[in-house]
Chains A and B, each alone.
Chain A
Amino acid sequence: MYLWKYWRESRITFAVGMVLVGLMLWAVLKIHPGGLVEGDRDSGQFNPAQIYLVVAAVLTFPLAFLAWQFGTFGVGHDLSSGSGSFIFSRPRSRAFLVWSDWGYGMAQLLLLLIAANSVLALAVYRSAPDSGPILLSGEPVSMFSIFGLHCVSGLLFTGLLFGLTYFCSVLVKRRGLVLSVGVVLVYLIAKAVVKYRWPAITLPDLSLTEFNMVPTGGASFADHLGLDIALRAAMALAFPVAAQMLLQQRDVD
């Protein structure tokens, strides 16, 4: 029953997100001047990794918007609207409430990612249905692997923003979204400053780098991809854990 509340709060945003992602995906696939899905695989011009990178970059904005919005729902929303005492006096633990919110929000984001990537995969497949597996640095890789990797990458990125916003909403109640956006902006500025002052140091990107692009136009899986995914997953999970701990220590008012 608790999830029903989250669904009620987020359903309009979710629907808007679906439309937004669909429109942007359609625009990329139809309007991009390079004709990304219409390259010639045999001549080496067809580069699915590049397609995914372009699509990922374009989808970053609507997905970030949705992740930020989803983070403001749930108990943070209740605390800011004054109904915190009501929600926290239902017979459920605070951990239950946090992880229900988080699980439902992540499920919605995953659904959006799967839908977007399915459309993309279908478009790529339809452009060259008989060309066999995709080659990355000469190694054949199934479309399914790239599809899965891209969903994971998107989920880690949106999960990070979603979790951060969720935590900020619990922390400061009414200004959670502003704080979350502020934190991301400060990080991006800090990253640029560090790169400028100390060129040898590179702070991690907010989103996962799945592929190493090589000068010849080819691509390979990024180095230490598994470790990178694990660390980002830990980072994304740290925020709901922190939100839970904060709520368990704090009085509800």
Chain B
Amino acid sequence: MSDLAIETHALHKHYGDIHAVDGLDMNVPRGAVYGFLGRNGAGKTTTIRVLTGLARATGGDMRVLDLDPRTDSVAILARTGLVVDKMLIPSMTGNDLVRFNSGFFPRWSDALAAKYAEVLELDMKRKFKKLSTGNRTKLCLLLALSQGAELIMLDEPTAGLDPVITDQLLRVMVEDFANEGRTLFLSSHHLSEVERIAEWVGIIDHGKLLLEGRLDDLRASFRRVRVVGEALPLAAWPGLISANTGEGTTEYVVRTDGDGFVAQLASQGATVLEVTPLNLSEIFLEVVGKGKTNVPVEVLA
């Protein structure tokens, strides 16, 4: 059995000229809480669809729970809790959907379903079509979380949820899944939520994975360095992501070896004003290159 719950190599999914997933290399360790981050349209949802067999890959290799979604999607789905569109059968109530869904999954837990209904404050007697957007999302999550899956894949799970419910949801996800050795893969652009529970993150943009690694390692390695002076000859530094100048100072963001970088600057006569670590939000903005001078980064091992 592989140590990876999900692995992709050069995965492609094209819709005509649009390369929704464009050579994705991703490794999700078993038992991890993995935050799959990206802007709107970055390719997160398409990736999840391809990995679960809802969409067909255009090219590349992939394994989910040691199985190939192209040929074994039914076996993968039997072991995976999935929330992707947040649209269930409109005419069914929550209780109907629990009854319907439980028949597909031998490890389904009615006790868990009842627990989530209480935690998420769901009216299970109301028809799905009459639920608010937030309550629809909650019901989708309830179904995915109650089926006893080894792998949970959630696409924007907290979209439409209020902060209280979001907080409760994140807490139960950690309690019930992260501590149980099951893999939780959640795509999101709500970085603070991901930062709260994820151990691993992958950042996707334009269908490519720009960065992947343990969150703690990323926090430890990314540094913002502000120095006095402009146009220092450091553009070729291997871990340099961006360099922005203005008002007599230059601000660098480096991915690795911040201390070495600072020493190099000092040896060139630069005055280092400050060296600060980056949080996930700042790392994300740097990696996806929000309009600043950007140097493509490699995927961390």
Flag if B89 contacts A92 (CB, 8 Å): no
Report the interface size class on chain B: 20 to 34
User: Which of A75-83, A99-107, A160-168 lies at the interface with chain B?
Assistant: A75-83
Flag if B55 contacts A251 (CB, 8 Å): yes
Q: Complex: how many Å from CA A4 to CA B104? A: 12
Q: Answer whether residue A227 sits at the interface, using C-beta atoms and an 8 A cutoff.
A: no
Nearest chain A residue, comparing its CB with the CB of B129: A81
Flag if B84 contacts A89 (CB, 8 Å): yes
Of B55, B56, B87, B104, the contact of A82 (CB 8 Å cutoff): B87
Contact surface of A with B, Cβ cutoff 8 Å: 1-2, 4-5, 8-9, 78, 81-83, 85-93, 249, 251-253
Chain B hits for A83, CB < 8 A: 85, 87-90
Q: Answer whether residue B119 sits at the interface, using C-beta atoms and an 8 A cutoff.
A: no
Nearest chain B residue, comparing its CB with the CB of A250: B56
Q: Complex: how many Å from CA A89 to CA B85? A: 11
Flag if B87 contacts A251 (CB, 8 Å): no
User: Which of B71-79, B179-187, B203-211, B232-240 lies at the interface with chain A?
Assistant: B71-79
Chain A hits for B87, CB < 8 A: 81-83, 85-86
Flag if A82 contacts B49 (CB, 8 Å): no
Flag if B78 contacts A91 (CB, 8 Å): yes
Flag if B85 contacts A82 (CB, 8 Å): yes
Nearest chain A residue, comparing its CB with the CB of B78: A91
Q: Complex: how many Å from CA A93 to CA B71? A: 11
Q: Complex: how many Å from CA A219 to CA B183? A: 71
Nearest chain B residue, comparing its CB with the CB of A78: B89
Nearest chain B residue, comparing its CB with the CB of A89: B82
Flag if A8 contacts B92 (CB, 8 Å): yes
Q: List 11 A-B contacts (CB under 8 A).
A: A8-B96, A78-B89, A81-B87, A81-B90, A82-B87, A83-B87, A85-B54, A89-B52, A89-B54, A91-B105, A252-B55
Nearest chain A residue, comparing its CB with the CB of B50: A251
Chain B hits for A91, CB < 8 A: 74-75, 77-78, 104-105
**Contacts A83-B88, A86-B85, A91-B75; is A1 near B100 (CB within 8 Å)?**
yes
Q: Answer whether residue B91 sits at the interface, using C-beta atoms and an 8 A cutoff.
A: yes
